[in-house]
Amino acid sequence: MRTAVFSDIHANLEALEAVRRAAEERAVQKWVCLGDVVGYGADPAACLTAVRSLTHQILQGNHDAAVAGLQHLEYFNDYAREAVLWTREHLGEEDRQFLAGLPLICACDQAFFVHAEPVDPGAWGYVESSTDAAAAMAAVDRTFCFVGHSHRALAYATCGAGVKLVAEGEGRFELRAGCRYLVNVGSVGQPRDRDARSCFAIYDDEAGSIELVRTGYDISRAQEKILRAGLPPFLAARLRSGH
């Protein structure tokens, strides 16, 4: 089965639609969302509806928690805080309750899914280095651990001793028997690895591979919506830089 694992949509409908098309072209059969459907962008309700149409496996991210009133806003910078407050005003009560009820983790078969690092998911720590990856994998008793949150696409493997970076940004790698993997799937709606294209991962258990996939989208349209909504212009500008 080919499973698309995606995260950090951040209310960017143009990016989400591009990812959906790219995944369908690759014959994806299942979807798992690692959270942060909302925040930053101008289409929170539409993105939440679209994600719910794709999958029931949706995790809670820190922006989802903040919009639902479960996360203190001092955790956020000024731009993020303003976007959270704006998003609360532009989502209905049912949507906010849905976000509040999302789980922090999901474990099934050989895979463990979480928005942030898995040691303490609700603390919203990042996995951005081999040291972070080693700690995360030590906390998970599954072959695969999929995370988001940092908006950077990275994949690590451990085959008994040490942790090795096996993919960064994009690319496909073969899975080896006896190895364990941590995959940071990057961001659909606001990449921060200096590549403005949307990112998601495809886990193919039959072919024995994982691929970090990049796809372009209509950035100008997403930027126009952010500016028209009265959200901070910085949130529009950063979409073009991928940083």
216-242 average pLDDT score: 97
Residue showing tokens 């200096």: 194
CA angle 138, 3, 23 (to 5 degrees): 130
pTM score of the predicted model: 0.96
From CA 226, how far away is CA 159, in angstroms rounded?
A: 44
Paired residues of 215 in beta bridges: 198
Span 28-40, pLDDT tens digits: 999 999 999 999 9
Radius of gyration of the chain from Cα atoms?
A: 17
CA angle 209, 35, 11 (to 5 degrees): 110
Specify the CATH superfamily of domain 2-241: Metallo-dependent phosphatases (3.60.21.10)
Mean pLDDT (the chain, rounded): 96
From CA 211, how far away is CA 213, in angstroms rounded?
A: 6
CA angle 67, 70, 74 (to 5 degrees): 80
From CA 110, how far away is CA 193, in angstroms rounded?
A: 28
What pLDDT is attached to residue 109? 87
Q: CB within 8 A of 129, min separation 6: which ones? A: none
Span 87-137, pLDDT tens digits: 999 999 999 999 999 999 999 889 999 999 999 999 999 999 999 999 999
Contact 77, 54 (CB under 8 A): no
What pLDDT is attached to residue 242? 86
From CA 68, how far away is CA 97, in angstroms rounded?
A: 7
Q: Break the chain into its structural domains and give their ranges.
A: 2-241
